[in-house]
Structure 1
Amino acid sequence: MSERPISEQSTGEQSTGEQSIGNVSVHGVDIAGARTVLTVADHMMHLRDAATHLQSIFDTRERGYFSPSEDEQVEHLWVSYHGSRTALLEIVQVIRNEVGKASREQIGEFTLAYAATLILVDAARSLRDRFGKNDLVRRKLNESFDDFRIPADSFDEIQLSLTDPGNALQIKNANEFYEQNQDYIRACAEDDKTFATVVEVIENLRDATDVGKRKYLKARVKELGRNTRDRVLLGNLNKAIYAILELGGRAVAHLSTKPEHVPALPAGIAHQIQELLQPGDVLVTRKEHAMSNYFLPGYWPHVAMYVGGQQVVESMKDGVRVREMSSPFGNDSVAVIRPALDEENIQQAIVRARSHVGKPYDFDFDFTRADRLVCTEVVYRSYEGLGEMQFSLVRRAGRQTVSAEDLLGLALEEQKFQTVAVYCCELSEELLLGDAMRQALRKTMGLASNEADGESA
């Protein structure tokens, strides 16, 4: 027997009308996750426009190859799509790890995961509609992009997921739950601004991603025959959440992730680093087994800028924010580099960094625009032009960029930055300084050992 709609269940709580409680909205939507969903939804529309433009070009070309500039455009679109897709899958994966017993509090988790899934499905179908029958583009998107860890045949794999019977059933379950409880969900949106923005994304995409009855029935017969579920799901909400999370699990199965892994520095290491930090320092970080390690170049993929007061300015999927040290210390490995500038210039850089707070994350990795920033662009725009600080941008996937390892490379060469310390969980249980630090950094970055660093490692 199915349970009553969520709106008829009682928890003894009343809505306060407040917009948020801590890091979640009144109705349980993770605020950072909601920001990410909205940013990615907007970026996927941008990618759709770019894909339409490319399609119009390729449809009028009879030659069977890309020019170098066209090749870069396709590569950039594909890398940008994968980065956005990974951000959404990470949201679903986090909810997958935290989900528990069905309750009204979980309505926010379902709504956020459902919105992320609809964006994923809509984007994949859009790519299929534009490029699925274009053999030239399809072959290109099925190439491996080793610098960004995109495997061969990834376009075909993503398109196959659209017709996978299991996926069709999961989406159908989620659609049915939303349909049954949409009055309650819309009521929640009336007194919860964050919730409302996520619901708006859902309403805009539901019709485009609905699974037809014939496909659903066919999928249901096949899925029931497989008998793959190994646990009983209680309650409509739990079923709906499980459907979304199962879909997300299928999507990331090929990535070498460990959902149970919780990245964090050892307390002693975190204390040592905190003692060494000076305002203006840059923390370069890495999480083991993280999906975000894919589609970003290098062993060290991320940076945050220390602004004093045990806070950093850091651009993550939810945008540029002032964050506590628990953010950079919530990693498995951290390196610290220091700008070669006087205190006056460093203070000016910190003022610049704070001026970017509130801007969205740039899934397009476009360093020519300042209204949305990736993590390294915060450092770039904070320091560029101060003293003798000049950066040479490197072209990657059709974009001029600065990567986290570009910054580390400058520090190792003692150009503009200097190395301070590194903790790398794969190489040592201690915080490394001096020659040992430089040798460790070179090893993680695949650089030849420098004899000037001495024999220690």
Structure 2
Amino acid sequence: MTTLSATDVSTVTNLAQHMREMRVRAESMRAEFATGDRGFFSPIEDDQVTHLWVSYHMARAALLEILHTIRTTAGKAREDNAAEFALAYTSALILIDAARTLRDQFGKDVLVRRKLNESYSLFGIDRNSFDTIQLSLTDPKNAIGVRRANHFYDDNRELFQRLSLADENVARLVSLIDVLRERVAIGAKRYLRARVHQLRQDTRERLVGQSFARSVYAIQEWGSRLVSSISTKPGHVARLPAHVADAIAAIIQPGDVFVTRKEAAVTNYFLPGFWPHAAMYVGNDQVVESLKDGVRVRTMDSPLGNDAIALIRPTLPAPQIDQAIRRAHSHVGKPYDFDFDFTRSDRMVCTEVVYRSYEGLGGMSFELKKRAGRQTISAEDLLELAVAGQSFSTVAVYCQRFGDALLTDHDVAPVMNATVATLKNNS
């Protein structure tokens, strides 16, 4: 029997909590908005809608990545990976419930719907994304996949109860499933319509014969299709060339900050700019980094598993850098903040780890900028500081479109000027 990762389960439960909080905010916004009479949003209302929508997309991308990872690592479903079915099924239920919440709250509100269908290019959200996501709820393949998974879960309740008694992680998932599954039940008429449509096509059932396999495969395949729809390079595995990794190892120092990019939109969590992510090097070939599974100490495999990388260095004496590293370690174990709220420190996005590690040391100060209705710091803000020689200095950059080598010294600024949104006018 497959043993679930406690990290994966914690990520899913944190995402479920985030989506519940999002539902409460959506209901509150729906009740408070007074747009009907005036026909437009106030600036505050506009910020609230934008923030809700970007936050939803970030969480949705993380759930889709979990589904996609299960699909690509587990391969064909088997009886001995029932626990992975529970993880995939829970992720799918959270996704469907969140999409239906938005539909129920805003689907008939012309003004809000128009706003949610706008293009948010800074965050990589395409025009008409609200309508596209809602259409996925009635997609025939999705309807069949979810209904099949529901039936499998009903038919095998004793199996999942036994797994729950033996594995606390499965128990946490089963608890979520029991809460969510009634909210996403698919009616018989809609299922039959979808089934008729599906029977006209070449289905996956020929590839996986047994009931369990069909159930797991349907959920995983559904997630993979959605990932492919928002990924710029489906199937792409990011990794820096070996000679670039070796060059970085030769110059890296504790306290340095990596700013990175993967050429796959789903892993960028709709963060702004060409450079969406940051991690802090703490020595001993380790970084403190916040990803969808929260703030953790990770090996260098994490920053090296990217397509482009920049390295910046704090302009502080060693004792203060040591203090910053201790601060970074103090945040390990906190969940990822899909709400990107810098006013709270119990959850953190990637750049907030850097911010809360260095803010105030040696006079270092960060200016928060308003994005999607919240005051934040982006990874590109950190690069902008380094290029300006404020608090950080530029050390190195690798971006394949500018050559195959790790660039250092005076060769760094031209790449930053060409890629960082606020610096492009300098190129």
1:73 Cα shift? 0.4
Instruction: Work out the CA distance in 2 between the residues paired with 1:90 and 1:114.
Output: 13
Give the conservation status (yes or no) of the 8 Å contact 1:97–1:259: no
1:21-100 → structure 2 map (5 Å cutoff): 27-58=2-33, 61-100=36-75
For residues 182 and 406 of structure 1, the distance between their equivalents in structure 2, rounded to whole angstroms, comes to: 50
Match of 1:173 among 136, 143, 148: 148
Higher helix fraction (1 or 2) = 2
Partner letter of residue 347 of structure 2? R
SS of residue in 1 equivalent to 2:402: coil
- Greater alpha carbon shift after TM alignment, 57-66 vs 128-137: 57-66
Is 1:348 equivalent to 2:338 in the alignment?
Answer: no
SS of 1:90 mapped into structure 2? helix
SS of structure 2 residue aligned to 1:305: strand
Post-superposition offset of 1:428: 1.7
Aligned to 1:193: 168
- Contact 1:150-1:294 at 8 Å conserved across structures: no
1:220 corresponds in structure 2 to: 195
How far off its partner does 1:230 sit? Answer: 8.7
Q: Secondary structure at the match of 2:303?
A: coil
Query: Alignment identity in percent?
Result: 54
State the Cα deviation string for residues 41-96 of structure 1 (Å, max 9, x = none).
Answer: 00001111110111001268522110011000000000000110011011111122
How many matched pairs?
426
Task: Note the residue ranges of structure 2 that are not aligned, 5 or more in a row.
Answer: none
* 2:400 alignment partner AA: C
What SS does the aligned partner of 2:97 have?
helix
Inter-partner Cα distance in structure 2 for 1:228 and 1:235: 14
CA–CA distance in 2 between the matches of 1:112 and 1:168? 19
The Cα shift of 1:371 comes to 0.6
CA distance in 2, matches of 1:165, 1:73: 33
Match of 1:13 in 2: none
* C-alpha separation in 1, matches of 2:194 and 2:257: 51
Stretches of structure 1 that go unaligned for 5 or more consecutive residues are: 1-25, 452-457
CA distance in 2, matches of 1:319, 1:154: 27
| 1:137 equivalent in structure 2 | 112
Question: What letter matches 2:320 in structure 1?
Answer: N
CA contact (8 A) 1:283 1:337 kept: yes
The one-letter amino acid of 1:124's match is: A
8 A Cα contact 1:362 1:372, kept in partner? yes
Deviation per CA, 1:359-382: give whole Å up to 9, x if none. 110000000001100000000000
Residue of structure 2 aligned with 1:393, choices 362, 368, 371:
368
**Shift, 1:324, TM fit:** 1.1
Corresponding residue for residue 358 of structure 2:
383
Report if aligned partners of 2:260, 2:275 keep a CA contact under 8 Å in 1.
yes
> What do you get for the CA RMSD once the two structures are aligned?
1.8
Residue 339 of structure 2 corresponds to: 364
Q: Residue 281 in 1 paired to residue 253 in 2? A: no
Equivalent residue runs for 1:100-179 within 5 Å: 100-179=75-154
User: Cα 1:216–1:230, aligned 2, differ >3 Å: closer, same or farther?
Assistant: closer
The residue type paired with residue 389 of structure 1 is M
Residues 376 and 294 of structure 1: CA distance in aligned 2, closer, same or farther (over 3 Å):
closer
CA-CA distance at 1:450 after TM superposition: 5.2
1:51 maps to amino acid: A
Q: Kindly indicate whether the alpha-carbon contact (under 8 Å) linking 1:93 and 1:259 is maintained by their aligned counterparts in 2.
A: no
- Retained in 2: the 8 A contact 1:165–1:222? yes
Larger mean CA deviation between 385-394 and 162-171 belongs to: 162-171
The superposition leaves residues 269-313 of structure 1 with CA deviations (integer Å, 9 ceiling, x where unpaired) of 212212211111101111112413362101111111111111111
- CA–CA separation in structure 2 for the residues paired with 1:246 and 1:103: 15
DSSP-derived class of the 1:366 partner: coil
TM-score normalised by structure 1 residue count: 0.89
- Distance of 2:284 and 2:398 partners within structure 1: 22
1:21 corresponds in structure 2 to none
1:241 corresponds to which of 191, 196, 216: 216
1:291 to 260, 266, 275: 266
Aligned to 1:402: 377
Q: Does the 8 A contact of 1:310 with 1:325 survive in 2?
A: yes
The 3-state SS of whatever aligns with 2:38 is coil
The one-letter code matched in structure 1 to 2:85 is F
List aligned pairs for 1:195-210, cutoff 5 A: 195-210=170-185
Bigger shift: residues 195-204 or 402-411:
195-204
- The residue number in structure 1 matching 2:287 is 312
- Deviation of 1:111 after TM superposition, in Å, equals 1.2
Note if contact 1:102-1:235 (Cα within 8 Å) is conserved in structure 2: no
Is structure 2 residue 229 aligned with structure 1 residue 254?
Answer: yes
Deviations along 1:93-129, one digit per CA (max 9) or x if unpaired, are 1122223243344222211111110000001111111
2:349 matched residue in structure 1: 374
Post-superposition offset of 1:214: 1.8
